[in-house]
Amino acid sequence: MRVSTTLIAGLVSVVASGSLAQDAGAARGFAISPMAVFETGDSWTDGGVTHRLYGVQACLRGTNFTNASGIRRDCGEASLAMLVALIRDLQPQCHQAAAPSHSQTVFVFCVATRNSGAGAGSRIDLGTALIASGFGFASLATDGRPVHQPYFVAQLVAARAKVGLWAYPDVPEPNAIILRSLRDGASSASSSPAAPQ
């Protein structure tokens, strides 16, 4: 599951010009604790608080794809493994993007800065890296529009290049599953008879 560094580096420039990366330098960030418990390919819990990558949707646990060896694998676990690997390798600093008022979940974006090599000084957005590697997806709002457009662009590039999970024709695209579930729930609620008053 080798990821093209050129692909990721090119996509980083999309985010580097966006507001998330610009805010990264201004806001004080925090490192992801070695004690963090990773729950999904887009979230972890630390100190009783769940942190979720803003605008990123991991593959859903319990959904499967068939790898190149013909073995069925859990798609959510593949996303989770890549998130952990990227965090270990990049050691990003995270910044709060949003915290819903009645929730223990804090939405974050995380940025790493390269200290050496040809990319020294460049910033790598964790969400972009996860999506560009083909192990994450751009989150969609309930109307089907991307939550963060640069992530959607990264997803389109990864899908066209067939990197990561996109290399497998039966990859269970999580947004399609989630939106279908929302539509099915809405249609069953509207077709239920009204309760007598």
Give pLDDT tens digits for 121-164: 899 999 999 999 999 999 999 999 999 999 999 999 999 999 99
Any idea which residue has 């695209």 for tokens? Answer: 173
* φ/ψ (deg, to 5) at 111: -130, 135
Q: What is the pLDDT of residue 193?
A: 57
Distance of CA 82 to the CA centre of its chain: 10
Domain count, the chain: 1
Q: Using an 8 Å Cβ cutoff, are 148 and 138 in contact?
A: yes
Give pLDDT tens digits for 152-181: 999 999 999 999 999 999 999 999 999 999
- Residue 10 located in a structural domain: yes
- Residue 193 located in a structural domain: no
Identify the CATH number of the domain in which residue 77 sits: 2.40.50.90
- Residue 107 located in a structural domain: yes
Provide the residue range defining the domain that includes 60: 5-187
Q: What gap in Å lies between CA 132 and CA 17, rounded to an integer?
A: 16
Q: What gap in Å lies between CA 117 and CA 120, rounded to an integer?
A: 5
Q: Using an 8 Å Cβ cutoff, are 96 and 49 in contact?
A: no
- Residue 29 located in a structural domain: yes
